[in-house]
Amino acid sequence: MADLNTDVRYIKGIGEQKAKALGKLGIFTLRDLISYFPRAYEDRTTLRPISALIPGETACVQAMVAAPPTLSRIRRGLELVKLRAVDETGAVDITYFNQAYLKNSLKMGQTYVFCGRVEGTLLHRTMTNPVAEPEGRRERTGRIVPIYPLTAGVSQLLLIRAVRQGLDACAGKLSEFLPEEVCRENGLCPIGCAYENVHFPASQEALEEARRRLVFEELFLLALGLSGLRSRRQSLLVTPCRPVDMEPFYRALPFSLTGAQRRCVEEALADMCSGRPMNRLCQGDVGSGKTMVAAACVYFTVQNGAQAALMAPTEILAEQHYRSLSPLLESLGIRCVLLTGSVKGKARQSILEQLSDGTAHFVIGTHALISGDVAYKDLGLVVTDEQHRFGVAQRAALSSKGRSPHILVMSATPIPRTLALIIYGDLDVSVIDELPPGRQKIDTFAVGTGYRERIYAFLRKEIAQGHQAYIVCPQVSENEEMPDDRKAVTEYAQMLQQEVFPDLRIAFIHGKMKPKEKEAVMSGFTSGKTDILVSTTVIEVGVDVPNATVMAVENADRFGLSQLHQLRGRVGRGSAKSYCVLIADPKTEEARQRLRVIAKTSDGFRIAEEDLRLRGPGDFFGQRQHGLPSLKIADLSCDMALLLKAQAAAEELLRADPELTRHGAVKRRVQELFTQNADTLN
């Protein structure tokens, strides 16, 4: 008797060799086999008379082989089997490439169903390599047929037959693990029915039902698991921070915090006083003042006698944070140090000593902060800035340097609310939904390349008023397929200097420059010694030069919406009116639409929603190597509505049964889903 855990070799036709090939697809047991879902389907239900076939379409006919198939060897490695098949309405000539065995297996006088693309003309119809199957067999024709992802040594037919046997052997043993009321309230079909129809749908409707049930199930388990991670974290105990008088910190600031900033600070401080490790995401649009929220948390931590670390994704950002935060915090008695990859030798040694003996209270840096030889006396708080550049694993590496330090993640890439729970499902979220006062709207224009002269004139005017400008070009490319090399940063800058603005001070920066060079360029721009900075997207994230009022982006159609929004956020940081000019000759309607969205919207969250709608969720997942279980069947770009239902159902279940003690089967499934990822996720 077979059950779900029986080895796939139990299946007729699967021996050592095939089992090994299936193993590459992750299929070892019958459960794996029947959980190996098709990637697509072909509806081969309808059989058509040959005379009705139109060249160009894909269709199925039921036809008799009219004469013995012929085999010809054209040359080595090219063998053709040819045959003519007929029904009462006409004939079709069929050719197979390199399938010599068909010469004998397709027999004259017998009727087969052939499915494939019709070629030739209305007078002479042909098919190449159609699927063929004896009439009445209905494995690969005469029904909605599953199409599986394959690997070497595994064919569609092998999988179809194996899955069929697998389902026959144990579909009945799939026990319903979803609570009855969840199935009822969400109109889900029973589990056995779902597995049968996701592989061998009785109809389109049955397929829809099956998919709906399985997608729901997957998202439901994911939502439960994420809540579980959150509550597991909440069961970790740390010494609660004691309340601190924050007035000295607030008094030291050159401005007062916005209501939203204060609320985020309070939420974070409450976390740190709770006796559980904080794991909070602070989301705020560009320029909303996330850095000060971090600074407040650093002050609070250090007043509690512990150390804090801030990890930035680039050296430029780390240095900028160091420059802006250390004067403020040092004035409050907090000893700050900078640790990046370019801090070497004696200087590095000294910083390491200060971190391990506790003389340094606050360290700002890049990935260097998580390298092996960095030890802390008592690391209490880890802030990661612009976290979408960091994977969960890196966050985990940094936290491992303290005893469950508090974690604050700052992100300027707003994630659509609908996705936040999946992408940041293990974090609590604060949102800074208010900009500091006095900010002006950044006027944004999308223009064609024909406007370039006018844009240069505009830049000149702004610079004449004492302002500065950025021009962003796409990445320096290693391959030489760059269609317009004016856009390569260095050449573009040179061209501007020589041909357009000989009297202005132009500098350039890109990711391949040495850190020292980058630093020199940035500080030249920050101190106003440069008028125009030509750059790749290295300045995308977080760079703060209030005197810059124009952001021009070349080839703007190549960027994602959220990225353009980030770039735009580099201007409008001072009191002067600022502008963003997007230069592009977009070739697709989608690209045109994206540029329109960015030109008329300034709300990062709305832009993110649009990005999701236009480009799907891939971009958001890409930004975070999230380490979440990968989804087998759910597709978040179209299954969003189900996601919301699944989340609601998960929350309801957890309210009634927080530990899932009364839902053991659900609990086991959640654990299975999360086993591989459990270590990196918390």
Residues numbered 522 to 581 that lie near Mg ion (CB under 5 A) are: 542
* Residue 11 touches which member of ligand ADP, Mg ion, none, C-beta under 5-8 Å by kind: none
Short-list 527, 550, 530, 534, CA closest to 459: 550
In this chain, which of 23, 237, 255, 618 binds ligand ADP, going by CB under 6 A? 255
Are the CB atoms for 602 and 318 separated by under 8 Å?
no
* Residue 292 touches which member of Mg ion, ligand ADP, none, C-beta under 5-8 Å by kind: ligand ADP
- The least CB distance from residue 389 to ligand ADP, in Å, is 14
Please identify the residue of the shown chain whose CB is closest to the bound ligand ADP: 289
d(CA 673, CA 628): 9
Cβ closest to ligand ADP, residue 572 vs residue 586: 572
Cβ closest to Mg ion, residue 145 vs residue 383: 383
d(CA 611, CA 416): 9
Q: Left if phi > 0, otherwise alpha if psi is -120 to 50, otherwise beta: which for 149? A: beta
Residues numbered 544 to 563 that lie near ligand ADP (CB under 6 A) are: 544
Stretch that binds ligand ADP, among 155-163, 223-231, 255-263, 499-507 (CB under 6 A): 255-263
Cβ closest to ligand ADP, residue 291 vs residue 549: 291
d(CA 9, CA 16): 7
- The least CB distance from residue 533 to ligand ADP, in Å, is 17
d(CA 518, CA 281): 30
Q: Does 287 engage in binding with ligand ADP (CB under 6 A)?
A: yes
Contacts 24+ apart (CB under 8 A), 179-183: 179/653, 179/663, 179/666, 182/220, 182/649, 182/653
Short-list 329, 311, 321, 423, CA closest to 371: 311
* Residue 636 touches which member of Mg ion, ligand ADP, none, C-beta under 5-8 Å by kind: none
Cβ closest to ligand ADP, residue 505 vs residue 606: 606
- The least CB distance from residue 580 to ligand ADP, in Å, is 15
Q: Does 573 engage in binding with ligand ADP (CB under 6 A)?
A: yes
Residues 6+ apart with CB under 8 A from 180: none
Place of tokens 């802030």: 383
- The least CB distance from residue 255 to ligand ADP, in Å, is 4
Q: Does 389 engage in binding with ligand ADP (CB under 6 A)?
A: no
d(CA 452, CA 583): 8
- The least CB distance from residue 565 to ligand ADP, in Å, is 11
Are the CB atoms for 193 and 176 separated by under 8 Å?
no
Residues numbered 203 to 232 that lie near Mg ion (CB under 5 A) are: none
Q: Does 282 engage in binding with ligand ADP (CB under 6 A)?
A: no
In this chain, which of 261, 413, 623, 682 binds ligand ADP, going by CB under 6 A? 261
Cβ closest to ligand ADP, residue 198 vs residue 282: 282
Are the CB atoms for 584 and 570 separated by under 8 Å?
no
d(CA 345, CA 310): 22
- The least CB distance from residue 630 to ligand ADP, in Å, is 31
Please identify the residue of the shown chain whose CB is closest to the bound Mg ion: 542
Q: Does 387 engage in binding with ligand ADP (CB under 6 A)?
A: no
**Percent of the chain as helix, strand, coil, to the nearest 5:** 45, 20, 35
* Residue 261 touches which member of ligand ADP, Mg ion, none, C-beta under 5-8 Å by kind: ligand ADP
Cβ closest to ligand ADP, residue 142 vs residue 414: 414
Please tell me whether residue 238 adopts helix, strand or coil conformation: coil
β-bridge mates for residue 506, sequence order: 532
Count of residues touching ligand ADP (by CB under 6 A)? 17
Are the CB atoms for 670 and 231 separated by under 8 Å?
no
Residues numbered 506 to 545 that lie near ligand ADP (CB under 6 A) are: 542, 544
Binding string, 332-371, against ligand ADP, x = CB under 6 A? Answer: ----------------------------------------
Are the CB atoms for 533 and 508 separated by under 8 Å?
yes
Q: Does 412 engage in binding with ligand ADP (CB under 6 A)?
A: yes
- The least CB distance from residue 295 to ligand ADP, in Å, is 9
Please tell me whether residue 243 adopts helix, strand or coil conformation: coil
* Residue 257 touches which member of ligand ADP, Mg ion, none, C-beta under 5-8 Å by kind: ligand ADP
Q: Does 289 engage in binding with ligand ADP (CB under 6 A)?
A: yes
Tokens, residue 540: 């995308």
d(CA 96, CA 94): 7
* Residue 197 touches which member of Mg ion, ligand ADP, none, C-beta under 5-8 Å by kind: none
- The least CB distance from residue 253 to ligand ADP, in Å, is 8
Cβ closest to ligand ADP, residue 262 vs residue 348: 262
Cβ neighbours of 553 (radius 10 Å): 25
Task: Render 259-271 in DSSP notation, one character per residue.
Answer: HHHHHHHHHHHHH
Cβ closest to ligand ADP, residue 132 vs residue 328: 328
Tokens, residue 509: 């920066």
Q: Does 290 engage in binding with ligand ADP (CB under 6 A)?
A: yes
d(CA 43, CA 2): 31
In this chain, which of 59, 286, 364, 628 binds ligand ADP, going by CB under 6 A? 286
Cβ closest to Mg ion, residue 301 vs residue 384: 384
* Residue 277 touches which member of ligand ADP, Mg ion, none, C-beta under 5-8 Å by kind: none
Burial class (CB in 10 A: 0-12, 13-18, 19+), 226: buried
Stretch that binds ligand ADP, among 240-248, 281-289, 327-335, 621-629 (CB under 6 A): 281-289
Are the CB atoms for 199 and 34 separated by under 8 Å?
yes
d(CA 325, CA 253): 11
Count of residues touching Mg ion (by CB under 5 A)? 1
Pairing of strands 144-147, 279-284: unpaired
d(CA 417, CA 609): 8
- The least CB distance from residue 336 to Mg ion, in Å, is 17
- The least CB distance from residue 434 to ligand ADP, in Å, is 9
Short-list 602, 509, 597, 508, CA closest to 560: 597
Cβ closest to ligand ADP, residue 261 vs residue 530: 261
β-bridge mates for residue 385, sequence order: 410
- The least CB distance from residue 291 to ligand ADP, in Å, is 3
Short-list 141, 143, 115, 136, CA closest to 203: 143
Residues numbered 418 to 477 that lie near ligand ADP (CB under 6 A) are: 436
Site residues (vs Mg ion, CB under 5 A): 542
Site residues (vs ligand ADP, CB under 6 A): 255, 257-258, 261, 284, 286-292, 412, 436, 542, 544, 573
